[in-house]
Structure 1
Amino acid sequence: MKNVTVTMEDSVAEWARLEAARRNTSVSRLVGELLAEKMRHDDAYERAMQDWLHRERSWTSAGKAYPKRGAK
């Protein structure tokens, strides 16, 4: 574990104190958990985006023009 100093607005600090108390934890642990959750979310999003970008496209036109919108 690493100790860090965080600077935030007074209103944010007050919210963090109240939220930590509601969750029966410390502000330090609350901030750590929120950041860990954000990191997991961002990592999952990045993996999903890379997976999508590297997929073989089955919807390409294979050199042909795509049909025009409204064409029958």
Structure 2
Amino acid sequence: MKNVTLAMDEALLEKARGLAGRCKTTLNAHIHSLLAHEVEQEDRIAWAKAGMERLMDEVAKRSDSADTSYRWDRRDAHAGREDRLLSRDERPDLRGFGEKS
């Protein structure tokens, strides 16, 4: 593991040490955790962007191969979830209401 030197004003350093103490960790571990979270978040954003680009390419290919351009609609957006969701008519009654005694 490599060491890094940080420069910060004394007031921020004292507050950061206090925060690390309240979190029951060292300042070094707290800073490491914060940076790891930021890097992970950036990786997740890059993964999501790549997925969106793949979807846009897929739509473009569908549009190019079809006679008319493809348009997404509500059914497409929810097609994969329909089997897991109950329609409004299929929802069970609230507990205590409509139960047979």
Residue 8 of structure 1 and its aligned partner are, at CA, apart by 2.3
Q: Structure 2, unaligned stretches of length 5 or more?
A: 71-101
- How far apart, in 1, do the equivalents of 2:32 and 2:9 lie? 18
Match of 1:67 in 2: none
Greater RCO, 1 or 2 (C-alpha within 8 Å, sep 6+): 1
Match of 1:68 in 2: none
- How far apart, in 2, do the equivalents of 1:39 and 1:19 lie? 21
Match of 2:19 in 1: 19
Q: How many corresponding residue pairs?
A: 63
Give the one of 62, 66, 71 matched to 2:69: 62
Runs of 4+ in 1 over 4 A off after TM superposition: none
User: Any idea what the Cα deviations from partners look like across 1:3-53, whole Å, max 9, x if unmatched?
Assistant: 100122334323311110011111111000100011111101110011101
Q: Is 1:28 the counterpart of 2:28 in the alignment? A: yes
SS at match of 2:59: coil
- How far apart, in 1, do the equivalents of 2:11 and 2:54 lie? 43
- How far apart, in 2, do the equivalents of 1:20 and 1:43 lie? 26
Q: Structure 1, unaligned stretches of length 5 or more?
A: 64-72
Say what the alpha-carbon RMSD is for the aligned residues.
2.4
Match of 1:49 in 2: 49
- How far apart, in 1, do the equivalents of 2:50 and 2:43 lie? 11
Q: Which amino acid aligns with 1:62?
A: S
Q: TM-score, normalised by structure 1?
A: 0.71
SS at match of 2:31: helix
